[in-house]
Amino acid sequence: MRLVSNNSGGGGGGGLQPPKASSASTTGVPRWILAATGIVAALGVAELTRGRKVAAEEQRRLPPAEVAPLAAGDPVDGLISMDDVASHNSPESGLWVVINGEVYDLTDFVENHPGGKNVILKNAGKDVTDIYAPVHPPTAIEDNLEPSNHLGQVDPKTIKVKQASEESEKDKKRRLALENLPPVGSMLNLDDFERNAQNILTDQAWAYYSSAGDDEITKQQNRSSYNRIWFKPRILVPVGQVDYSTTLMANVSGADTKVSLPIYISPAAMAKLGHPDGELNLTRAAGRMGIVQGISANASVGLDEMLDVRKPGQPTFYQLYVNKDRAASERILKKIQDRGCTAVMLTVDAPVMGKREADMRAKGEVVETGGGQGGDPTTSGGGVAAAISGYIDPNLSWDDIAWYRKTCSLPLILKGIQSIADVEEAAKRGVEGVVLSNHGGRSLDFSPAPIDVLIELRQKRPDLFEKIDVYVDGGVRRGTDVLKALALGAKAVGLGRPFLYAQSGFGEAGAVRAIEIIQDEVERGMRLLGITSLDQLNPDMIDILPRFFDPNLSRSAPCPPNSFEG
């Protein structure tokens, strides 16, 4: 299915691509800030109105054969009124929405919507641009809808302008925080970015980024468990010159990847919720700073766009969720191989999504109870976050490694290994790498902290570090965390949320700053530890305390106040 343009000149009419939105309004405030805070300034609307009038003009100038038929009852000038849109707000009347001034009929598409049907049912009949734009790649409409689903353009005269006076206190606080971002250099550690993100993100975006499974114990323990490891620093070692570069997949012929720092960006979806350039910020920052970006299969920016902004030779790991429709995964694998990605990170810890209640609440999800009939276990229990993974094959098994090998020749890294037995199995099957990870605590609560698994692996199977690249992610927030993991034998360490938070508001500069912070902490830590290169790190340089459950963690689900109101 493809929604193709039949008019290179832009403008209205069925089957036409929506016009590109400009990023700055004449108020000087970027339009995305206005959109993010739910406000469209009157001036901005005037600009939009002008744009659409021109577009309507262009439509009238098209030869008749190129103008797709408009819905019955449309105004003569071909524009659709908001009242008309509003009356199509149910499966019976039809499910119409407005996105960037274009009207779409989603009645047939709703059941197949990868984000679940509820969000469309709830918002049909409205302008959904603010909800839609940050969570969809630009080609989503073109790739998924039929030309006939595009009904035309909305009549701008009928749009009710939301006045600044309607701005809620919360939105105002958020807008002001965004307009008055502190200098990026005032971010001294990764937690500073997290605090800043909490001030500027919408409730939904914050919930999506920060939430984790059930009581969020694993998410918290991921970080606490780094406290088990203490250093045994050596002194009076000349540390004037230190080298913190390393090589990933050094033993995989043709895939050895030199990086400036032993960290990488863990693949994480929906960066556009934090900044309009989304994942492009991460690709550019990784290129500038010489580290690897893990590209999420659910990125909010198109894959080609990201690959296009790489520097020549910039390494990237593509994160794959295997599709129930294997042919779809095969197409992606072929593409990323052709386009020069370095390796594939196959995520194996999310056959179904974890139960992320904060995310569900923020989206106002009301779960279909099924009246005792039971639901589809692969999509129920996680709201929109669960439905997003609807294409992921829950029946993936070890035998599918053979399928992967037939399909793609890039090195394979299994992401989401949570036990020693599975590292052993991966090594036995010749997989090139594993990421000890529990999806940042977003999958199974009470899955062990990855650093605890790494300690156990070092104690029980030190030989495996020679056979397979071991990576680790989850709860890494300090350069010292990186050094601890490397002392235990990890090749590099991934960071997920810190990069989403860092690019929120700040864009590329924030992501670069986050890398600089870790770089500074790693470099400083090496000097204070008495080493000058990463290969000098070894288990003798650390003390490991017994495994513990952090007594400060509360065993009750995070429950925001007033969560059952409206």
Ligand X SMILES: Cc1cc2nc3c(=O)[nH]c(=O)nc-3n(C[C@H](O)[C@H](O)[C@H](O)COP(=O)(O)O)c2cc1C
Q: Where are the beta strands (DSSP E) in 419-507?
A: 433-436, 469-473, 492-495
Three-state SS at 419:
coil
- Closest-approach residue to ligand HEM (CB): 115
Q: Which is nearer to ligand X, 149 or 438 (CB)?
A: 438
Part in contact with ligand HEM (CB under 6 A); list of ranges 55-63, 129-137, 215-223, 392-400? 129-137
CA dihedral 437, 439, 440, 442 (to 10 degrees): -140
Q: Which is nearer to ligand HEM, 126 or 339 (CB)?
A: 126
Q: Nearest-CA neighbor of 475 among 222, 212, 210?
A: 222
Q: Which is nearer to ligand X, 127 or 432 (CB)?
A: 432
Whether residue 275 lies in the annotated active site = no
The residue count for binding ligand X (CB under 6 A) is: 25
Part in contact with ligand X (CB under 6 A); list of ranges 159-167, 172-180, 495-503, 537-545? 495-503
Binding mask 344-383 for ligand X (x = CB under 6 A): ---x------------------------------------
- The yes or no reply on residue 262 touching ligand X (CB under 6 A) is no
DSSP class per residue in 56-67: HHHHHHS-GGGS
Q: What are phi and psi of 70, to 5 degrees?
A: -95, 160
Q: Which is nearer to ligand X, 174 or 415 (CB)?
A: 415
Whether residue 256 lies in the annotated active site = no
Question: How many secondary structure helices (H) and strands (E) does the chain include?
Answer: 22, 17
- The yes or no reply on residue 318 touching ligand X (CB under 6 A) is no
**Among 440, 448, 489, 525, contact with ligand X (rule: CB under 6 A):** 440
**Among 32, 132, 404, 501, contact with ligand HEM (rule: CB under 6 A):** 132
The separation between CA 438 and the C-alpha centre of its own chain, rounded to angstroms, equals 16
Whether residue 321 lies in the annotated active site = yes
**Among 123, 158, 189, 247, contact with ligand HEM (rule: CB under 6 A):** 123
- The yes or no reply on residue 264 touching ligand X (CB under 6 A) is no
- The yes or no reply on residue 318 touching ligand HEM (CB under 6 A) is no
Q: Nearest-CA neighbor of 475 among 502, 501, 494, 492?
A: 494
Q: Quick check: 330 and 278 in contact, CB under 8 A?
A: no
Token output for 78: 């071909």
DSSP state of 212: -
Residue 88 binds which of ligand HEM, ligand X, none (CB < 5-8 A, kind-dependent):
none
Measured CA to CA, the distance from residue 132 to residue 98 in angstroms comes to: 10
Q: Which residue has the tokens 């594939």?
A: 344
Residue 216 CB, nearest distance to ligand HEM (Å)?
Answer: 18
**Among 29, 55, 67, 104, contact with ligand HEM (rule: CB under 6 A):** 104
Three-state SS at 272:
helix
Spell out the long-range contacts of 332-336 with Cβ–Cβ below 8 A and sequence spacing 24 or more: 332/297, 332/303, 333/404, 333/407, 333/408, 333/410, 334/407, 334/408, 335/303, 336/303, 336/307, 336/410
Residue 60's CB is within 10 A of a number of other CB atoms, namely: 13
- The yes or no reply on residue 137 touching ligand X (CB under 6 A) is no
**Among 31, 52, 88, 136, contact with ligand HEM (rule: CB under 6 A):** 136
Query: Which residues of the shown chain bind ligand X in the complex (CB under 6 A)?
Result: 208-209, 222, 266-269, 296-298, 319, 347, 415, 437, 439-440, 442, 473-476, 495-497, 500
Task: Write out the catalytic residue numbers.
Answer: 321, 349, 439
